[in-house]
Amino acid sequence: MAQKKRVQVHLQPDVYEIVKTISELGGVTISGLLGEIIDENKAGLQIIHDALLMAKNQDHTATLDRIQNLLLDTMSKGIDAQKEIVELRTKHGK
């Protein structure tokens, strides 16, 4: 198995507090939580990746902007989903 790559992420303070709480409730590190969220969204990221490459090759600036906004929205939904999972685990003692 290939070794995972490390990246630095900058979060808005309110987003950081949410992620911190989720990681604490879930018993995982913040980096582990964010890595898991991103890994779970690999298929969506691949679609965005391919679309961005296609748009760049065709110089569709508006398309690039829409895809970048879609990426941000997708990541936000992933965090919300992870929070719900942690809340369910916490309620059921898992």
Kindly state the tokens that stand for 35: 């890595």
Q: Above 70 in pLDDT, residue 59?
A: no
CA–CA distance, 55 with 63 (Å, rounded to integer): 6
Residue 68 token pair: 């970048």
- The string of pLDDT tens digits covering residues 61-78 is 677 677 777 777 777 777
Phi/psi region, residue 12 (left: phi>0; alpha: psi -120 to 50; beta: rest), is beta
- The answer to whether the CB of 55 falls within 8 A of the CB of 63 is yes
Predicted pLDDT of residue 60: 66
Q: Which pTM value belongs to this model?
A: 0.57
Q: Where are the domains positioned within the chain?
A: 37-82
Confidence at 50, pLDDT banded by 50, 70, 90: confident
Residue 12 has pLDDT above 80, yes or no: yes
